[in-house]
């Protein structure tokens, strides 16, 4: 009997476009952040740029989701990449012929962030359908490995480009990378047939309500998404306080902080490669996830109390554990969600994750003014640990079915309902 292959034509093509998107994103994000700080010498100005990148998730994700759910995901992705190409070319030409203007970069960040909201919703709804049934964990292991791998390669490349090229030429270079992605995306087969429907506010409101009704009924989905918003915010907070710790301790340097980030990235990359070869059995996903979340929070709490070599090991393990649990969660949740409602539910995750990141950044910034940094990291980890027990451990009967979901089983259930 032939073993089913993950690497179908369509999955190979979507993987290539994912790589190109990651390269383009890394190629522009670091140079823009470096330029903003160089020109303003303000950490607040840099932070506002970052927040502007997340704001569209809060403002538009839920409102955009019903529109994405009703249309062709392939057409949406090609359209949005086309708009990105036009924006990057226009931005490149403009900045080549003008002085630095912070407000224009702020506006540009909002535009890219808004387009990215629609793109992520379409991509996350389409991607599961391009993975051969039964190979979801392998498929998400591949996608989860792409970004840490690209980050390791592109961080020095992006810094090199920033030092050697005008930012305008980097914008145009990213436009070229995105254009290549469009060519590849056009060769992927559409996974479903969509009815052409005239837009009406009444239908839109009904579709929007349908998403909220589903979430209200699904306590397990609410538990998982709420926890992810908290733990995501805690992770952002721990990173912020760790950066401040490294910049205020005589025995630590910013270069050492860079190696700390590299250790975590390498952990993510190696964990993704390992999961491609070895899958966590369906029945063990839930207990394994609980174990990982517990260890993850404890390691965040003790990070700043360790000697530097132990910090490196801590972050390496955090990266590996985070990648492993993330792959399991993606495969399970996207398999559990009905195909025609994925974007609406995923939009909630985008909103709560962005809100969690913003909220915990503000909390950590305030606590850091009054408390020792290791204590702040410990408090953040404590919040993560308590929320994990309340939202993941205790409601096992609601959460377990989601972690044990497979697309094959969900499709069988759908066929049974039709019959």
The per-residue pLDDT for range 286-339, each reduced to its tens digit, is 999 999 999 999 999 999 999 999 999 999 999 999 999 999 998 899 889 888
Q: For residue 368, what pLDDT band results from cuts at 50, 70 and 90?
A: confident
CB atoms within 10 A of CB 16: 16
Contacts within 8 Å (CB) and 24+ apart, 100-107: 100/35, 100/39, 102/36, 102/39, 102/40, 102/45, 105/32, 105/35, 105/36, 105/49, 106/48, 106/49, 106/52
Cβ atoms of 265 and 319 within 8 Å: the answer is yes
Among 398, 342, 108, residue whose Cα is nearest residue 214: 342
Most confident stretch, 19-33, 104-118, 265-279, 336-350: 104-118
Of 114-128, 157-171, 191-205, the one with minimum mean pLDDT is 191-205
What average pLDDT does the segment 167-190 reach? 95
* 195: pLDDT strictly greater than 70: no
pLDDT tens column, 29-42: 878 877 887 788 77
Structure tokens at 342: 């994925």
Portion of the chain with pLDDT greater than 70, in percent = 93
DSSP state of 187: T
**Selection from 57-61, 322-326, 363-367, 415-419 with the highest mean pLDDT:** 322-326
How far is the C-alpha of 107 from the C-alpha of 90, rounded, in Å?
Answer: 13
Residue 1: predicted pLDDT = 42
Domains and CATH numbers, the chain: 7-184 (1.20.1250.20), 212-414 (1.20.1250.20)
Evaluate if residue 379 carries a pLDDT over 90. yes
For the whole model, what pTM was predicted?
A: 0.78
């Amino acid at each position: 009997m032939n073993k089913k292959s993950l690497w179908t034509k369509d999955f190979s093509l979507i993987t290539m476009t994912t790589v190109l998107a990651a390269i383009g994103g890394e190629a522009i994000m670091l140079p823009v952040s470096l330029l903003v700080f160089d020109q303003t010498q303000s950490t607040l100005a840099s932070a506002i740029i970052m927040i502007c990148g997340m704001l569209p998730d809060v403002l538009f994700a839920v409102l955009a989701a019903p529109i994405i759910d009703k249309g062709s995901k392939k057409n949406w992705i090609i359209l949005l990449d086309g708009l990105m190409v036009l924006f990057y070319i226009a931005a490149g030409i403009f900045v080549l012929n003008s002085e630095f203007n912070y407000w224009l970069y702020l506006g540009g960040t909002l535009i890219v962030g808004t387009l990215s909201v629609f793109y992520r919703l379409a991509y996350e709804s389409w991607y599961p359908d391009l993975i051969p049934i039964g190979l979801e964990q392998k498929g998400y292991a591949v996608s989860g490995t792409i970004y840490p791998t690209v980050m390791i390669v592109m961080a020095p490349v992006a810094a090199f480009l920033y030092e050697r090229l005008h930012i305008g030429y980097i914008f145009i270079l990213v436009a070229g990378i995105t254009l290549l992605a469009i060519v590849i995306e056009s060769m992927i087969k559409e996974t479903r047939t969509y009815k052409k429907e005239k837009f009406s506010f009444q239908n839109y409101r009904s579709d929007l309500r349908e998403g909220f009704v589903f979430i209200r009924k699904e306590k397990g989905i609410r538990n998982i998404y709420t926890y992810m918003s908290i733990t995501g915010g805690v992770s952002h907070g721990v990173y912020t306080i760790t950066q401040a710790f490294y910049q205020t301790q005589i025995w630590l340097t910013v270069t050492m902080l860079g190696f700390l980030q590299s250790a975590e990235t390498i952990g993510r990359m190696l964990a993704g490669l390992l999961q491609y070869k070895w899958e966590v059995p369906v029945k063990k996903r839930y207990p394994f996830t609980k174990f990982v979340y517990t260890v993850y929070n404890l390691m965040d709490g003790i990070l700043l109390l360790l000697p530097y070599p132990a910090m490196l090991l801590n972050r390496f393990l955090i990266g590996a554990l985070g990648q492993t649990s993330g792959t399991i969660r993606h495969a399970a949740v996207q398999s559990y969600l009905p195909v025609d409602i994925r974007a609406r539910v995923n939009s909630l995750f985008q909103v709560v994750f962005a809100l969690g990141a913003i909220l915990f950044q503000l909390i950590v910034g305030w606590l850091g003014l009054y408390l020792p940094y290791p204590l702040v990291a410990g408090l953040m980890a404590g919040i993560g640990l308590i929320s994990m027990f309340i939202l993941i451990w205790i409601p096992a009967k609601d959460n377990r079915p989601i972690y044990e979901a497979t697309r094959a089983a969900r499709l069988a259930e759908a066929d049974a309902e039709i019959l």
